[in-house]
A and B are shown apart, each in its own frame.
Chain A
Amino acid sequence: MSLYPMYARPRSVEEAVGLLAGLSSGAVVVAGGQELMPAVNSGTLMPEVFIDVAGIEALRGIDFNEGVLSIGALTVHRELQGNALVGEHLPLLANSASQVGGGWQVHNRGTIGGNIVAMHPLYDIAPSLLALEVELEIADESGVRTTAFADVLTDTRHGLGSDSLLVRVLARPQPSGSCWGYQKFKSTGGAYGSANAAAIVQLDGQSLSAVRLVVGAAAEKLEVIDLSHIVGKPWSEDVGRTIEAACREAISQPLSDQQGDAEWRRAMAGVVARRAVQQAINSQREEGAA
């Protein structure tokens, strides 16, 4: 901790990870500052050095090459909402970015990288990224590695480790012919989510041929819900109840906070999950009708 922190503005990934390696836990990376600065301002975090990565070009931009969408870690939520490539290939991500709380200020400043690295159980982007099975490009002094987002999440250490920098998010387009749904439940306009769910659904005629469902905000970690037992069935109220039950079972240790107790939280996970799958199917039907 320090009462008078220093400030560094590296110009390249190499410079940044060099600083991180040298400073270890005394340094913090500043991107949009939406997670970090409130903690600094309230005195809960007193870093020695702010490493401002805003000047690193390699962390910016969205491109599409060889079937992979590469999103710079500094991409803000507003860009995710409006970018044509994201809109075309990852509409689920665009939608979940639009539901990030805090209004325009957060949407214009908050970054996808900061959102991921914060690993906050109530945040919006992560369930969609896990549903999309994205990979992360992470740099440290030894070089750049590519890791599945799912593997980062299972790591019990918080975040990426103090010597690493998230560079880019790599995603394959949502499968052609698939449909998607994102549902976020919050008690009131200014509240954090109490449960959210991202679903990617593939239909074979009326039957569900594949469902990838991720539930967030209800427990400390995201849960991928195993729905293999409903594959092949057409949508019905019964299937909906099965999804709800699967979620309730998967959320073994629900969170409890001022927005709601554990029992309600677990039930809400089921409701948003069912609604996300329903939303996906309805969107497909509407498209079909159109």
Chain B
Amino acid sequence: MSTSQADSKGYVGKFVRTKEGRAPLLGKAKYTNDYTFAGQLYAHILRSPHASAVINSVDVSGAKKVAGVRLVMSGREVAEYTNPITDYLDPAVFGGKSADIRPMAVDRAWCFGQPVAIVVADDANIARYAASRIQVDYTPLEAVTDAEQALAEDAPRVVPEWDDNLLMYVPFVFGDTDSAFASAAHVVSTEVGIHRFSTQPMETRCYNAVWEHDTESITLYATSQNPHPLRLVLAETLRMPENKIRIIASTIGGAFGMKMHGHPEESLLCLMAKLTGRPVKWVESREECLLIGAREQRHYLEMAFDDEGRMLGLRDRFYANLGAPSACPGWGMAFLTGLTMPGPYRVRDIDVQVHAVNTNKPSWNAARGYGKESTAIALELAMDHAARQLGMSPVELRLKNFIRHDEFPYGSPTGLMYDSGDYGGALSKALDAINHEDWLEKQAQALAEGRYIGIGVAFELTPEGGAIPGTMVAGYDSSTVRVGPDGTVRVLTGITSPGTGNATGIAQIVADELGVDIDHIEVLQGDTNASPYGFGNYSGRSTIVGGGSAALAAQDVRKMIDKVAAALLEVDLEALEFQDGLYFGRGKPGTPLSFAEVCYAAYTRAYDVALCIEPPLEVTRTFRPPSIRHTPDKNGHINPYPSYSNAAYVSVCEVDRETGKVELLAISAAHDCGKVINPVLVEGQACGAIGFGLGGVLSEEITFDEGGRQLTRSFVDYVMPRMSDVPDITMVHHDSPNPDTYLGLKGAGEAGVGGSAAAVVNSVNNALQPLGVLIHDLPLSPPRVWAAIQAAEGGH
């Protein structure tokens, strides 16, 4: 890395109140739905009530008769104006199948909730009412909703043209797993059922498409994590040049991957604006938001161990239920679950088989953890199961099998290059943080009183900041730093913020590099007409590449300002000093120059003192993480990730034997995200991820009836944790700086869902061990835990 001006006197590493946090707290933030324009129209989308059906006809005449309706279109009509939606990630690039993904169903609906018709009207109520007047004639078909059943020879086909429902099969096979198992002293089999759960941001999706009559172009106000790549997709889908589309991603109220693109509504709304010549807005209802699935997988794991508990081989065959095909990048989660095996463990002989299966459930989109959380859940439940079978403590078994801190950089069997870490150290720190020994005592005492306390540990390794060749998952990103003639700073980034506060982290970095007050810095993100071309927010990358590129740009601008200052002060650069916002020449008495004075000169004295630079004071730089390697090595492996954050989690719970309810008593985490730019931002992210993890395994579940119609329609059904469900979280940092990034940064936004989820499940099974109960089918809702206890008691 280039040398950094950042020092201990600056902002980096300190708690800095978020610059962009004030407006949302005061209710003043401008979310996408807060933009309304003259002549604003509203859209409502009619959706399929069937999981699988032939659409015989769509009669929109009833809707057209409603006063205030401006446009009504069926899928067939929309198809005349649009191309299939370009995949965010084309499965064919990975050896899978591609389907034509239309913005609306044309002749056939392949999942519950698929758009079938759209109404545009003067207000949302009229549009909703008019949609109820559309007559659709369906012939319902048999639906397939289970991933393994979908692979049966005679299973109904989700995509009629396909030979089967297997979107993709990926084997990650390395070494000689059969020999490893043949020589093993112990083989432990574990089946893990991860249910369908989601992310559910407070702000649902919203698109407001504006037709710009003067330039015959579209401006789309969108809840989008990736405005530039979305623009390319829209250009292709709408048959428009990319430079005729502008995306503005305003303040976002949570995204978690759900606002990565490929959604049909993005192109639909643009088309409606183009056809009506008016602004058209659509706000996703919570019911619609709940249609976006994720994570549903069933794993069949086998672990081979020697006599001392060293893992010799790992087999995992798993089936991911992706729902119907989608242009969103959700399916990639299944790939990542496989690629991240065997996580933090040293085992080399692995045989992991990914089956990414399409069914007639609604489609996945990316969800925080992007499949890596499922690796952690599957592996960590299996590790605890192995510890039980081997008669070892779960901590001891993990410590024996972790990659050691002196083995980094470490090449995983699937080809990933882990940058740094101290996994054993992190686990010990997390155990200390929660006072593990005390809890062991309390557990024994409780058991004597007939109460069931459990302690669970888990580890999560999270590759972050990914770059996939041939796709718009580009890995690198760019920032512009512009210093004005008054010395104030505008930073424009290609990355966006889903509400995590990364703009503040970037401002801290730029403030330190320039040596200015953070209040003089404004960060702008998410406008494709203003920001440098960038790839937005995903994969825990924003501070690594957004901060890294902003640092490079700030360093260059600072050099320009230094040159002008030296010219003004008539000293050599070596004799130039800068302190507390003032420039002066060493050994040269006289009045020092303020930063702003020098900046003004850089703009206004371009023909004398500022001849040494090329004005204005503006530089755009890119940070391309050097450790990403797309040239395959001798095994054909690439390293798509620059950063491998990791963390250990410990959960303590008590299970109510009579009701099956799990109460969490304490959680600790020891987290390694490399250099911490702002502890409050990192801890906020990590605590949020823990909330996701514990909610996901205890209460959140998307369910369906036998015909594949979704039953989960509101927060009455989909219950996320409240403050009363979240115990005290003790968070400690165990940082190993990343040698390949600016300041040693690793991702900090994505990790934590799987590790915390697995720790909670392991603590529940630990609590239930005296009752002979073991549950590996999630979620651990009270009825499921209760039924398992009943079954065990009945068996006595």
Contact surface of A with B, Cβ cutoff 8 Å: 3, 42-43, 46, 185, 187-192, 194, 257-261, 263-264, 267-268, 271
CA A46 – CA B703 in complex, angstroms?
28
When distances are taken between beta carbons in the complex, the residues of chain B under 8 Å from A263 are 787
Of B128, B714, B722, which contacts A189 at CB under 8 A? B722
For the A-B complex with A3-B126, A191-B699 known, give 11 more contacts whose Cβ atoms are closer than 8 Å: A42-B285, A42-B714, A187-B661, A187-B782, A188-B699, A189-B722, A260-B782, A260-B783, A261-B783, A264-B782, A271-B658
Is there contact, CB below 8 Å, between B783 and A190?
no
Contact A188 B725 (CB under 8 A): yes
Q: Which residue of B lies closest to A258 (CB)?
A: B717
A185 to B782, CA, bound (A): 10
- A188/B717 in contact, CB under 8 A: no
Mark contacts of B257-286 with chain A using CB atoms, 8 A cut-off: 1 yes-contact digit, 0 otherwise.
000000000000000000000000000010
Interface size counted on chain B using CB atoms at 8 A: 33
Is there an interface contact between B661 and A267, defined as CB atoms closer than 8 Å?
no
- Given A189-B724, A264-B786, A267-B786, CB of A259 within 8 Å of CB of B659: no
**Interface SS majority for chain A:** loop
Please name the 6 residue pairs, one residue from A and one from B, whose CB atoms are nearest each other, closest first: A189-B722, A189-B724, A264-B783, A260-B783, A258-B717, A188-B699
Name the A residues within 8 Å of B724 (CB-CB). Answer: 189
Asked whether, in the complex, the Cβ of A188 is within 8 Å of the Cβ of B698, the reply is: yes
Question: Residues 665-690 of chain B: 1 if any A CB is under 8 Å from the residue's CB, otherwise 0?
Answer: 00000000000000000000000000
Contact between B659 and A268, CB atoms less than 8 A apart: yes
Residue of B with least CB distance to A274: B658
Contacts of A191 in B (CB 8 A): 699, 719
The answer to whether B722 and A190 have CB atoms under 8 Å apart is yes
Q: Count CB-based A-B contacts (< 8 Å).
A: 64
Which chain B positions have C-beta within 8 A of A264?
660, 782-783, 786-787
Q: Is A190 in contact with B781, judged by CB distance below 8 angstroms?
A: no
The reply on B125 being an interface residue by CB < 8 A is: yes
Measured between beta carbons, the chain A residues less than 8 angstroms from B658 are 271
Q: A258-B703, A271-B658, A271-B659 are in contact. Are A187 and B781 (CB under 8 A)?
A: yes
B701 at the interface (CB under 8 A from A): yes
Residues on B lying within 8 angstroms of A by beta carbon are: 125-126, 128-129, 285, 287, 658-661, 698-699, 701, 703, 711-712, 714-725, 781-783, 786-787
Q: What's the Cα separation between A167 and B299 when bound, in Å?
A: 59
Using Cβ atoms and an 8 Å threshold, which residues of chain A touch B783? 259-261, 264
Residue of A nearest to B658 (CB): A271
Q: In the complex, which residues of chain B have a beta carbon less than 8 angstroms from the beta carbon of A257?
A: 717
Complex-state Cα separation, A45 to B724, whole angstroms: 32
Measured between beta carbons, the chain A residues less than 8 angstroms from B129 are 3, 46
Shortest distance from the beta carbon of A240 to any chain B beta carbon, whole Å: 11
Asked, given contacts A3-B125, A258-B703, A260-B781, whether A189 binds B721 with beta carbons under 8 Å apart, the answer is yes
Do A188 and B722 touch across chains, with their CB atoms under 8 A apart? yes
A4 CA to B538 CA in the complex, in Å?
A: 43
Q: Which residues of B contact A260 (CB under 8 A)?
A: 781-783
Distance between Cα atoms of A129 and B269 in the complex (Å)? 51
Are A190 and B721 in contact, CB atoms less than 8 angstroms apart? Answer: yes
Q: By the criterion CB–CB under 8 Å, are B701 and A185 in contact?
A: no
Task: Known contacts A258-B701, A271-B658; decide if A188 and B786 are in contact (CB<8 Å).
Answer: no
B720 touches A258 (CB 8 A): no
Bound CA span A194–B716, Å: 12
Known: A3-B129, A264-B660, A264-B787. A189 touches B723 (CB 8 A): yes
Smallest CB-CB separation from A42: which chain B residue? B285
Q: How far is the CB of B232 from chain A (nearest CB, A)?
A: 35
CA distance A3 to B125 in the complex (A): 6
When distances are taken between beta carbons in the complex, the residues of chain B under 8 Å from A267 are 786
Report A-chain residues with C-beta under 8 Å of the C-beta of B701: 258
Docked pose: A259 CA to B287 CA in angstroms: 17
Which chain A positions have C-beta within 8 A of B714? 42
Name the distance in Å between A215's Cβ and chain B's nearest Cβ: 15
B659 proximity list for chain A (CB < 8 A): 185, 268, 271
Q: Which B residues touch A271, using CB under 8 A? A: 658-659
Can you list 10 A-B contacts (CB < 8 A)? A42-B287, A187-B719, A189-B722, A189-B723, A190-B715, A191-B699, A258-B712, A258-B718, A260-B783, A261-B783
Q: Does A190 contact B285, Cβ atoms closer than 8 Å?
A: no
A282 smallest CB distance to B (angstroms): 17
A194, B698: Cα distance in complex, Å: 16
For the complex, give the distance between the alpha carbons of A153 and B163 in Å. 57
Kindly provide the distance from the CB of B203 to the nearest chain A CB, expressed in whole angstroms.
16
Residues of chain A lying within 8 A (CB to CB) of residue B718: 258
Note all chain A residues with C-beta closer than 8 A to B698: 188
A154 to B32, CA, bound (A): 49
CA distance A233 to B722 in the complex (A): 41
Give, as a whole number of angstroms, the nearest-CB distance from A121 to chain B. Answer: 13
Chain B residues with Cβ below 8 Å from A192 are 716
Chain B residues whose CB sits within 8 angstroms of the CB of A268 once the complex forms: 659
- Please give, as numbers and ranges, the residues of chain A lying within 8 Å of B782 by CB-CB distance: 187, 194, 260, 264
CA distance A261 to B660 in the complex (A): 13
Alpha-carbon distance A170/B125, docked complex (angstroms)? 41
How many whole Å from A98's CB to the nearest CB in chain B? 14
